[in-house]
Amino acid sequence: MKRPPTNADANPASTRSAVGRPRSAEAQEAILQAALELLGQVGYGSFSIEAVAARAGVGRPTIYRRWSSKLELAVEAVVRLAPSVKVVDSGDALADLRNLVSEILPDMTSSATGRAFIALAGDVEVRAELAHRLDERYFQPRRAVVAGLLQRAVIANQIRPDIDCDLLIDLILGAAVYRWLVTGTPVTGESARRIVDAVVDLAAPRP
Amino acid sequence: MKRPPTNADANPASTRSAVGRPRSAEAQEAILQAALELLGQVGYGSFSIEAVAARAGVGRPTIYRRWSSKLELAVEAVVRLAPSVKVVDSGDALADLRNLVSEILPDMTSSATGRAFIALAGDVEVRAELAHRLDERYFQPRRAVVAGLLQRAVIANQIRPDIDCDLLIDLILGAAVYRWLVTGTPVTGESARRIVDAVVDLAAPRP
Amino acid sequence: MKRPPTNADANPASTRSAVGRPRSAEAQEAILQAALELLGQVGYGSFSIEAVAARAGVGRPTIYRRWSSKLELAVEAVVRLAPSVKVVDSGDALADLRNLVSEILPDMTSSATGRAFIALAGDVEVRAELAHRLDERYFQPRRAVVAGLLQRAVIANQIRPDIDCDLLIDLILGAAVYRWLVTGTPVTGESARRIVDAVVDLAAPRP
Amino acid sequence: MKRPPTNADANPASTRSAVGRPRSAEAQEAILQAALELLGQVGYGSFSIEAVAARAGVGRPTIYRRWSSKLELAVEAVVRLAPSVKVVDSGDALADLRNLVSEILPDMTSSATGRAFIALAGDVEVRAELAHRLDERYFQPRRAVVAGLLQRAVIANQIRPDIDCDLLIDLILGAAVYRWLVTGTPVTGESARRIVDAVVDLAAPRP
DNA sequence: TTATAAACGAGACGGTACGTCCTGTCTTTTA
DNA sequence: TAAAAGACAGGACGTACCGTCTCGTTTATAA
């Protein structure tokens, strides 16, 4: 009986048998690192398991033992290696929002992360399963911290109280991601701040 | 001297030599049709020239003679077969906007069109060139008609006059595309209308 | 419908479709040559299609298009490139026999030919089919010329008339092949002649 | 310092350290038995250490600890499990010869034994070393008992006294082995007896 | 008794070759 | 002279074994 070749289920007390040689943590990290670098350099279309194995100094079967497809690998590389978001509270909710979004968006549209996300969305057969995983481990955490800041802004009367926060997040993140997709230019901190400012202005309380 | 293997320049009175057997128009259409169907069925990742040729009943070189890559072919298939946008003027600019967007967005995020667009955005090496082409022939025309309607809404005092129309379009289209990418559920006419309503509400003139 | 990937059936007016690019005769010869050289150098056990392709400067699928297995390829290489046997009639049947056998046996137990033959015999699943083919195209012709010479020797009263020629051939060839298999030293012209002499002596007419 | 991983030298008072867990005799036998069965079933070409380990219910390293290659293992399996030859003296040397050879030859050309022998002969790099070992432990003992019987036949004036016994053995065994190799049909007791009769007839003393 | 040494099964490791599929190019025949 | 058919060199795929290397466990001798 073979074990399903994924470790993305991420339950730390794994059910996998403890007998036999354990999987190498060095190989794991080398593979994810190599995958992320390659994704950033050549894009997902030309991203090959072969090249990842070569760059990581690892046998190809070692990759297949852990991930069942290049999409699984790409998703895990992105998720595991994406910078975590750190929320701060300076007292000024809008300023914190600007700073947070100007960190989140460039990463979201930078090469490797965005590329894997795009590739994911474009592959019809694995979409349902993997898009959810990426959403859950990448997008949802980021939306959550943004939502927290929006709530603080509402309480501080900097944003209309009748606003739909989810929609506001869609507008902010969506506008940036969409511009990036259409024009191809990654979103910078500066352009992220402009979008936040414009949306916040629209959502400001009526005088 | 070989002819550059593209006809995407689309000048109908081509300068190509008229001697010899002419290129088959049936083949052309069969290829584009097959490409679009395959894109919709298997996604861009599993989309192969081989399969397009087989489905179109055509030799592989016949495809390469016309398109230099599968991306070129995918883009042309999408652009040529996407429904044209028909702008109407019922007198109520906002109603016209709602109707227009509720037609544009579902197509934009429906299988084949959206898929090719995504695939395009995700492939680093051809991005600059082809994203521009898709933008020019698919997105820009749609943005233009939306922009026209927004102008009419401004004149009718249904939208604040100091608004940045481009930003508003980014917000509307971006929010929808982003939701589609993240959740995987295509945008319907209904959800498109909700987004328009919300953005228009935000952009309404201050009393 | 795929064509069965063998051309070993050797009917020159093949039923294969005449449309499309014909198979390259250069590739064919390069592959067989490379296969024979490799067989001689590394033996059948370490003989790989990969290496044959590399040495022949040919893509791997080009080999698989023609031969369905490495055994098929090995057999064909041996059969096609084995030197043909030229029978002479000097008047002295026994001398001719000595000369002929001293040419046949060293080739039969020399590296490539013998190796493929051995490999063939050792592989249980293809044995019935391929051993017959090798027998038919390699051994039978050699046995036939030897049988002819033995007949001449019988007529010249140099060999007992009641002899079973097939058995005599088995004795001559078998003793040599067996010695080679057991000791590993290839049969030389000299040792071949010794075997012929001994057997002829045994089979000489009683005075 | 590791011990060379072979036990084929078979000196029971090994120089190996006596401390630690001794090697399991059950594993040893299970491995040899499994190897012999697999050799008989799939031939040497498809014979894999992996399969032997699985069938013997043993870890792969347990095999490598004892034999350095699949050839070593195959040879030992054959040698250890081949039936021993029991020489009898009924008074009639020729009858004893017929009986002995009709036992030896079928085994020599039966599946597992013959297969390993063939595989051995075909592998260029290990040939010199292992062919000698197989010869020494399998062929030489059989040749020796045949030679003894031939001597008795000479003494009994049933065979010419000037005969080269080694050659006679080559003729008998060689003819059988050769027929088996070329035709693929194992040698039976009946066909073995026919060969003996024919050779003995040829080697009979001149009247 | 307890260490200690070495075997055991299990299974992952870096590799190699497999046979398949697709790429983009190139002939050859047919129309 | 373009179209279809199909072979070409090449390269990545995912799989099967290779022979080696940990693991945690078991089994004997030696202390």
Q: What is the pLDDT of residues D171-182, one digit of tens each?
A: 999 999 998 888
The secondary structure of residue A157, as a DSSP letter, is T
Q: A42 or D13, which is more confident?
A: A42
**Residue D106: pLDDT band with limits 50, 70, 90:** very high
Please judge whether D184 and C42 are an interchain contact, meaning their C-beta atoms are less than 8 angstroms apart.
no
pLDDT for the residue numbered A99: 95
H/E run at residue C98:
helix C93-108
Token pair, residue B23, equals: 């290129």
Q: C193 or B42, which is more confident?
A: C193
The 3-state DSSP class for residue B177 equals helix
Interface test with C, best of D117, D178, D196 (most C CBs within 10 A): D178
- Pairs of CB atoms within 8 A across A/B: 123
H/E run at residue B183:
helix B165-183
Inform me whether the C-beta atom of residue D166 falls under 8 Å from chain C C-beta atoms.
no
Placement of tokens 């002829």 in the chain: C200
Sites in chain A below the pLDDT cut of 50: 1-4, 8-14
Helices (H), A22-159: 25-42, 49-56, 60-66, 70-81, 93-108, 111-122, 127-134, 140-155
| Protein-proximal positions, strand F, CB < 7 A | 1-24, 26-30
Inform me whether the C-beta atom of residue B207 falls under 8 Å from chain A C-beta atoms.
yes
C66 pLDDT more than 60: yes
* Closest chain C CA to residue D140: C182
The secondary structure of residue D161, as a DSSP letter, is T
CB B126 within 8 A of CB B169: no
Sites in chain B below the pLDDT cut of 70: 1-23, 111, 122, 124-128
The 3-state DSSP class for residue D12 equals coil
Task: Give CA–CA dist B87/B104, Å, rounded.
Answer: 11
Distance D93 CA to F16 C1' (A): 53
Q: Residues 29-58, chain C: which have Cβ under 7 A from strand F?
A: 57-58
Helices (H), chain C: 25-42, 49-56, 60-66, 70-81, 93-108, 111-122, 127-134, 140-155, 165-183, 189-202
CA distances from A46 to A43, A70, B83 (A): 6, 11, 31
CB D180 within 8 A of CB D186: yes
CB A162 within 8 A of CB A205: no
Minimal Cβ distance to B178: which of A42, A119, A170: A170
pLDDT above 90 as % of chain D: 53
* Closest chain D CA to residue C185: D128
pLDDT for the residue numbered B187: 92
pLDDT for the residue numbered A143: 94
Question: Residue C53 CA to chain centroid, in angstroms?
Answer: 23
B15 touches strand F (CB under 7 A): no
Distance A64 CA to F14 C1' (A): 8
Q: Do chains A and C touch (3 or more CB pairs under 8 A)?
A: no
Token pair, residue B107, equals: 């197509």
Task: Give CA–CA dist B90/B156, Å, rounded.
Answer: 13
B188 touches strand F (CB under 7 A): no
pLDDT for the residue numbered A126: 63
* Helices A189-202, B165-183: inter-axial angle, 10-degree rounding: 100
CB C163 within 8 A of CB C206: no
Task: Give CA–CA dist A22/A16, Å, rounded.
Answer: 10
* Alpha-carbon dihedral sign for residues C146, C151, C155, C157: positive
Interface test with A, best of B178, B179, B195 (most A CBs within 10 A): B178
Go through D167-196 and write b for each residue having 16 or more CB atoms within 10 A of its CB, e for each that does not: bbbbbbbbbbbbbbbbebebbeeebbbbbb
Q: Residues 40-99, chain A: which have Cβ under 7 A from strand E?
A: 57-62, 65-66
Please judge whether D44 and C176 are an interchain contact, meaning their C-beta atoms are less than 8 angstroms apart.
no
For nucleotide F3, give the residue with the nearest CA to its C1'. Answer: B62
The residue type of D201 is: D
Give C42→chain D minimum CA distance, Å.
6
A17 touches strand E (CB under 7 A): yes
Interface test with D, best of C162, C178, C180 (most D CBs within 10 A): C178
Please judge whether B171 and A171 are an interchain contact, meaning their C-beta atoms are less than 8 angstroms apart.
yes
pTM: 0.83
Minimal Cβ distance to A119: which of B122, B128, B184: B122
Token pair, residue B96, equals: 């016209």
Task: Give CA–CA dist A95/D52, Å, rounded.
Answer: 69
* Closest chain D CA to residue C113: D122
Q: C50 or C185, which is more confident?
A: C50
Q: What is the dihedral of CA D42, D45, D49, D51, to 10 degrees?
A: -30
Q: Do chains D and B touch (3 or more CB pairs under 8 A)?
A: no
D12 pLDDT more than 50: no
Q: Residues 110-149, chain A: which have Cβ under 7 A from strand E?
A: none
A5 touches strand E (CB under 7 A): no
Chain A residues whose CB is inside 8 A of the B206 CB are: 206-207
Q: Quick: pLDDT tens for A182-203.
A: 887 889 999 999 999 999 999 9
C170 pLDDT more than 80: yes
Q: Quick: pLDDT tens for C74-113.
A: 889 988 888 888 888 999 999 999 999 999 999 888 767 7
Interface test with B, best of A104, A135, A202, A206 (most B CBs within 10 A): A202
Q: Do chains D and C touch (3 or more CB pairs under 8 A)?
A: yes
Other beta carbons less than 10 A from residue D18's beta carbon = 6
Instruction: Report the candidate in B115, B138, B101 with the shortest Cα–Cα distance to residue B42.
Output: B115
Contacts of D205 (CB under 8 A, 6+ apart): D157, D158, D159, D160, D161
Nucleotide closest to B19 measured between CA and C1': F1
Residues in chain D: 207
Inform me whether the C-beta atom of residue A136 falls under 8 Å from chain B C-beta atoms.
no
pLDDT for the residue numbered C112: 75
Task: Give CA–CA dist C206/C120, Å, rounded.
Answer: 41
Question: CA angle, corner A94, sides to A89 and A98, nearest 5?
Answer: 90
The residue type of C169 is: I
Task: Give CA–CA dist C131/D201, Å, rounded.
Answer: 31
Give C144→chain D minimum CA distance, Å.
14
Other beta carbons less than 10 A from residue D206's beta carbon = 7
Instruction: Report the candidate in B203, B196, B206, B207 with the shortest Cα–Cα distance to residue B163.
Output: B203
Distance D54 CA to E16 C1' (A): 22
Nucleotide closest to A65 measured between CA and C1': E12
* Helices B70-81, B25-42: inter-axial angle, 10-degree rounding: 100
Q: A95 or C124, which is more confident?
A: A95
D1 pLDDT more than 60: no
Rounded mean pLDDT, D190-198: 96
Instruction: Report the candidate in A40, A178, A51, A53 with the shortest Cα–Cα distance to residue B125.
Output: A40
**Residue C1: pLDDT band with limits 50, 70, 90:** very low
Distance C20 CA to F7 C1' (A): 8
Please judge whether C175 and D182 are an interchain contact, meaning their C-beta atoms are less than 8 angstroms apart.
no
C201 touches strand E (CB under 7 A): no
**Residue C17: pLDDT band with limits 50, 70, 90:** low
All partners of chain A with 3 or more CB pairs under 8 angstroms: B
Task: Give CA–CA dist D198/D109, Å, rounded.
Answer: 20
Contacts of A18 (CB under 8 A, 6+ apart): none
